[in-house]
Amino acid sequence: MPDGDIERRWWKESVVYQVYPRSFNDTDGDGVGDIPGIVEKVDYLDDLGVDVVWLNPVYDSPNADNGYDIADYRSIMDEFGTMADWEELLDELHSRDIKLIMDLVVNHTSDEHEWFVDSRAGDPEYEDFYIWRDGRDADEVSWSATEGPAGEAPPNAWKSYFGGPAWAYDEEREAWYLHLFDVKQPDLNWENPRVRDEVFEMMEWWFDKGIDGFRMDVINLISKPEGLPNDPDDPFCGAMTGPTNGPRVHEFLAEMNERVLDREYLTVGEMLGPEIPMEHARRYLDPDEDGLSMLFHFEHMLLDRGDNIWERDEWALSDLKAVFNRWDDGLKTEGWNSLYLNNHDQPRMVSRFGNDGEYRRESAKLLGTLLHTLRGTPYIYQGEELGMTNYPFESLDDFRDVDTLRPLENAIEAGEVDSFDAVKEAVRANSRDNARTPVQWSAGPNAGFTDGEPWLGVNPNKGEVNVETERADEDSVWHYYRDLISLRKEYDVVVYGEYDPLFPDDDTVWAYTRTLSTTDGDERLLVALNFSDDDVAVGLPDDVTSDEGALLIGNYPADGDPDVVSELAAGDLRLRPWEARVYDLR
């Protein structure tokens, strides 16, 4: 057994499965997934072996941003079902020992939330619930907006994450309000203690209903810099670098921690920005400060993203490793990492970091091996366990996402981009809609997702990639994921072992050991991953070879050539394309 100095937590030992309800499973034929559809698949999740479900927003919403624009935090969106359906889902999950975490979206609400309706009407109780400012004289400043009274410019030059100015003029209140996302997502004013009271009460209300935690949407944006500074070179201006980790963010979260959080909950804060300074990260995760269990940073998600949806950068394996190595090191003694390579805002990982053609299966398994054997809590995004891929978008009509359409349409209108066709490859690779196509349950019509017309196209590869086929085949990505998940339950070293990277600068092979000192001696694993379409030889340092080692899991058939155990003894691995091996070094 491990030494007593390990801080055991159920959420460290868990695997989280993310459900994006709109695209999961539709039971009423309207082409949109729903909560009864998730209830229908609880046994599926149980068979896979996951411990926690993170549910993307299911609250009442006009859907300007697929539920991230909430009109009522205490009711369920009609399209998704009723509160009774939600309660049934919670019961069904809990009766199988699966926990449920909800999405907490409190940087902003919908403009249809009653707080905003009252705020724009100038109701004294709500007037300061949002961030309202007067406009500037357009002749005196260098920025402008297409909307608003003649001669007036927005209060500052901030840009929305979804493109265009971050301010909208409201005719009724005759003032501008801040929206870091869509115009229908006004930012809440966290400086107002009544806003905090309302948010904390609402969280308490959900905890009382029995949930096990929250994923907190863009939570490092809640504190805006004092005076809303406006230097266009300031990092607070411009998309992807909005007002992150603002001056009072830790104070607000510490208050939340004190008033509503508990170490028994799983809380994971989404942290926007090109880089989260480690001092901030530690404060977010310190039980005596902000008290979150984990955070999602974006450093690995930005490696290949250009500044705009129509731009791409090259990524190198050594850069990807450097991000994970920095985070493992930064949180070695305090804090805990989350591990993800895709979610509802990111393209499919096998298309992005793997090879979704010839080696789709191998590379999906390899990436899964990485996520399940690094130190941290793995997050599986729906369909990842099938090796689902990006979608072959052909025209703008194929997209639904505001974050793809709005910036691109603006750029085409402004003449910055000629046409969709001119930037098709990059937009295809970047769009959030890649993740949002319906889960492929079968090879049948609409992949078994709906009897109606799906709200977003079904991937044409459903014949090959679907739950039925995957479950019927013992060598599938699905079965491999199930094995990876159970490995975590069997070996403490997978959860708690120290991570030591080998060959950090190598751009083809990612290899590392995991070591846990126990009273019965060391438990030690070696993980070796070939991120390429070619065979590769790996010469191991002397201290990671073993005469008695065994292969715990690998993504090539175990039988025959090459002899993976004697290769380990010789310290000379020959990895095939996208091969992943996890050895127990004993």
Find the binder of ligand GLC among 68, 214, 510, 578 (CB under 6 A): 68
What backbone torsions phi and psi does residue 108 show, to the nearest 5 degrees? -150, 165
Taking the least distance from each CB to ligand GLC, the nearer of 62 and 571 is 62
User: How many other CB atoms are found less than 10 A from the CB of residue 3?
Assistant: 10
Q: Is 54 in the site for ligand GLC (CB under 6 A)?
A: no
| HEC profile of 411-451 | HHHCCCCCCCHHHHHHHHHHCCHHHHCCCCCCCCHHHHCCC
The letter for the amino acid at 577 is P
Residue found by looking up tokens 């959420």 in the block:
11
Q: Is 152 a catalytic residue?
A: no
Q: Is 217 a catalytic residue?
A: yes
Q: Is 65 in the site for ligand GLC (CB under 6 A)?
A: yes
Residues 382-411 as b/e (b if ≥16 CB within 10 A, e otherwise) read: bbbbbbbbbbebeebebbbbbbbbbbbeeb
β-pairing, 52-55 vs 136-137, is unpaired
Residues 174-193, interacting with ligand GLC (CB under 6 A)? 181
Q: Is 345 in the site for ligand GLC (CB under 6 A)?
A: yes
| E runs forming strands in 340-413 | 377-381
DSSP class per residue in 58-95: -EE---TTTTSS-SEEEEE-GGG--HHHHHHHHHHHHH
Q: Is 578 in the site for ligand GLC (CB under 6 A)?
A: no
Q: Which residue is nearest to ligand GLC (CB)?
A: 68
Q: Is 105 in the site for ligand GLC (CB under 6 A)?
A: yes
Taking the least distance from each CB to ligand GLC, the nearer of 108 and 524 is 108
Environment class of 272 (CB within 10 Å of its CB; exposed 0-12, middle 13-18, buried 19+): buried
Q: Minimal distance in Å, beta carbon 371 to ligand GLC?
A: 19
Q: Is 218 in the site for ligand GLC (CB under 6 A)?
A: yes
Question: With contacts defined by CB under 6 A, how many residues of the chain interact with ligand GLC?
Answer: 9
Residues 269-288, interacting with ligand GLC (CB under 6 A)? 270
Cα–Cα dist 42/53, whole Å: 10
- The residues, ordered by sequence, that sit 6+ positions from 566 with a Cβ below 8 Å of its Cβ are none
DSSP class per residue in 174-192: TEEEE-SS-TTSPBB-TTS
Omega before residue 562 within 30° of 0, cis:
yes
Q: Is 212 in the site for ligand GLC (CB under 6 A)?
A: no
Cα–Cα dist 559/379, whole Å: 31
Taking the least distance from each CB to ligand GLC, the nearer of 219 and 366 is 219
Q: Minimal distance in Å, beta carbon 191 to ligand GLC?
A: 20
Q: Is 217 in the site for ligand GLC (CB under 6 A)?
A: yes
- The residues, ordered by sequence, that sit 6+ positions from 324 with a Cβ below 8 Å of its Cβ are 300, 374
DSSP letter, residue 205? H
Catalytic residue among 217, 290, 304, 328: 217
Catalytic residue among 34, 60, 270, 433: 270
User: How many other CB atoms are found less than 10 A from the CB of residue 301?
Assistant: 18
Cα–Cα dist 583/568, whole Å: 8
Cα–Cα dist 425/347, whole Å: 13
Is the CB of residue 39 less than 8 Å from the CB of residue 89?
Answer: yes
Q: Minimal distance in Å, beta carbon 410 to ligand GLC?
A: 17
Cα–Cα dist 75/97, whole Å: 25
| β-sheet bridge partners, residue 108 | 187
The letter for the amino acid at 36 is P
Q: Minimal distance in Å, beta carbon 151 to ligand GLC?
A: 32
Taking the least distance from each CB to ligand GLC, the nearer of 68 and 265 is 68
- Give, to the nearest 10 degrees, the angle between helix 477-490 and helix 360-373: 20
Q: Minimal distance in Å, beta carbon 150 to ligand GLC?
A: 31
Taking the least distance from each CB to ligand GLC, the nearer of 63 and 555 is 63
List residues binding ligand GLC (CB under 6 A): 65, 68, 105, 181, 217-218, 270, 344-345
The residues carrying an active-site annotation are 217, 270
